[in-house]
Amino acid sequence: MRLDRRRLVLLAAIGATAALVPAAAGRAQQGGGGEVAVYSARHYDTDRQLYEAFTRETGIRVRLIEGDADQLIARIRSEGRNSPADVLITVDAARLARAKEAGLTAPHGSALIAERVPAALRDPDGHWFAVSQRARAIMYDRERGAPEGLARYEDLADPRFRGQICVRSGSHPYNVGLVASILAANGPERTEEWARGLVANMARPPQGGDRDQFRAIPAGQCRIAIANTYYLGQYGRSEKPEDQALFRRIGVIFPNQAPGDRGTHVNISGAALVRTAPHRAEAVRFLEYLTGPRAQELFALGNMEYPAVADAPLHPALAAMGRFRAEPLDAAGGAARAAEALQIIQRAGWR
């Protein structure tokens, strides 16, 4: 996104980017003013559009600090009661749960958020809630057909898929969250056996991001990939013929959909009110805005994520992948099991 004279970008001192989105003229100046400091682990141009739209509607400026979620949580902790942070946004539920456990967040107390966001996507104590969802799916080459016998995450360890799977580093939060989910379902011994089987079935050492996994399929490097759906959806949204061709070639399996099975692993982007927020009223107004029509449209149509609000629009490219049943979100459990999940990943040799 190109910056114009109305946007001021500040560099934060601790490895993060701080941007101040000023109030627009006219309507925004009539909105009352003020500001809200948002510490965000999301790094998308569509989010900047969201912040600017919020400022135009309310007159409240957004001071944006971007960085890795763990760094941002550590920063809020080190700043203590003098932290300027009002809102924390992360790209996984476990880190929101961790921030809550550390005493860094507080209940937002918004009836509007409770009304809009399903209970399954909210902290039971009201500390945080989902703003969008991402499904971690299995992808394959449509030209070769869906791999026979591949319907569950557990099937990825089957020796019939030896040398066929591409996946990014096991230490990435997306994969730690997935393994924590499998750990909750199957216990440590079976999960470690599964992780070792997955490593044995890898077509190459883990490398790159999620896009690199399914792009390796038509390149002949693997037949199966593990990736989040919104990455593939971005190709479906593209106007480039080569991107559309890739989107049409990659098939999607939503795992663990049989009756009685737990469903596909889904993680969230979520937001929380910082306990020491100096601009609490503005922060709550911003949090409520994240669940409103404009913000949910940007999450769903702009960044190809599944919305958190039931009646929000869904991009046709995501709809084309099919419907699925999600595994119940367990943020606190995922956070509690993350360290053990990472140890299993490392012992299995999933680098």
Q: How many CB atoms lie within 10 A of CB 77?
A: 13
The partner residues of 271 in beta bridges, in order of sequence, read 89, 129
The Cβ-side half-sphere exposure at 184, using a 13 Å CA radius, reads 20
The CATH class, in words, for 8-133+266-313 is alpha beta
Residue 341 CA to residue 350 CA, distance in Å, equals: 11
User: Which residue type occupies 304?
Assistant: M
298-314: b (≥16 Cβ within 10 Å) or e: bbbbbbbbbbbbeebee
Say which CATH topology domain 135-265+320-347 has.
Answer: D-Maltodextrin-Binding Protein; domain 2 (3.40.190)
Give the Å distances, CA to CA, from 182 to 98, 117, 256: 20, 26, 11
> At which residue do the structure tokens 């599944």 appear?
306
What is the chain's pLDDT, residue by residue, as a tens digit (351 residues)? 333 333 333 333 333 344 444 333 333 333 457 999 999 999 888 899 999 999 999 999 999 999 999 999 999 999 999 999 999 999 989 999 999 999 999 999 999 999 999 998 999 999 999 999 999 999 999 999 999 999 999 999 999 999 999 999 999 999 999 999 999 999 999 999 999 999 999 999 999 999 999 999 999 999 999 999 999 999 999 999 999 999 999 999 999 999 999 999 998 999 999 999 999 999 999 999 999 999 999 888 888 999 999 888 888 999 999 999 999 988 888 889 999 999 999 999 999
Cβ-Cβ contacts under 8 Å for 119 (sequence gap 6 or more) = none
Give the Å distances, CA to CA, from 27 to 33, 44, 54, 279: 11, 26, 12, 21
Instruction: Kindly report, as residue ranges, where domains of CATH 3.40.190.10 are found in the chain.
Output: 8-133+266-313, 135-265+320-347
CB 171 within 8 A of CB 209: no
